[in-house]
Chain A
Amino acid sequence: AQSVSQHNHHVILSEAASLELGCNYSYGGTVNLFWYVQYPGQHLQLLLKYFSGDPLVKGIKGFEAEFIKSKFSFNLRKPSVQWSDTAEYFCAVNAGGTSYGKLTFGQGTILTVHP
């Protein structure tokens, strides 16, 4: 069965700092990869996803992620964070085998951005 590992439980940054959140998955076949974000008091929502093509994908609010197949990684990046990026970020994988989006999530990374 597939699994997803997020390296950091809590990341604290100042505004304008660069961000990289690590995500590794364990599955040898074709995968679809997602980052979801949960802002305080809100529901989970999609930030970006990769399913084929260019391994560098761009999402909302200036986020991007790079799929590196050889490293089984899908790290999330943002060059300059804002206070409003304070949220919990979840990496997720769909390892195929179905015709719909059944997901396995990582444990999440809480990002706190200080003004």
Chain B
Amino acid sequence: DAMVIQNPRYQVTQFGKPVTLSCSQTLNHNVMYWYQQKSSQAPKLLFHYYDKDFNNEADTPDNFQSRRPNTSFCFLDIRSPGLGDAAMYLCATSRGGQVEETQYFGPGTRLLVL
């Protein structure tokens, strides 16, 4: 009954080597979000898609990009990972249309940068 799936669960990359994290959903939700969560910190929204409309947070580094080829899938691309990008990356979805709506989270991908 998995609803928001993230692959891989753990990702190791080298400093400066591009990496892609993936997220898929079976909920047919309009909105997909990517959060970065560093150790002992709050999840921080990087960007989100409402359908095909991309919305970047003002303080998200240019190093982070995203793609949403269809309703079900969304990707997070880190073009040149630095040591400071090591974190848990959370994907979430919501239906869209109501400010009080619930977000549904995936299990996260833990990124390690060597």
Q: Which residues of B contact A9 (CB under 8 A)?
A: 40
Q: Which residues of B contact A102 (CB under 8 A)?
A: 33, 45, 48
Q: A42-B107, A43-B4, A107-B41 are in contact. Are A100 and B102 (CB under 8 A)?
A: no
Q: A90-B43, A105-B43 are in contact. Are A99 and B103 (CB under 8 A)?
A: no
Q: Which residues of B contact A45 (CB under 8 A)?
A: 105
Alpha-carbon distance between A46 and B3 when the two chains are bound, in angstroms: 14
Cβ of A32 and Cβ of B40 under 8 Å apart? no
Cβ of A101 and Cβ of B42 under 8 Å apart? no
Cβ of A43 and Cβ of B42 under 8 Å apart? no
Cβ of A46 and Cβ of B102 under 8 Å apart? yes
B contact residues vs A (CB 8 Å cutoff): 4, 30-31, 33, 35, 40-45, 48, 50, 90, 92, 94-103, 105-108
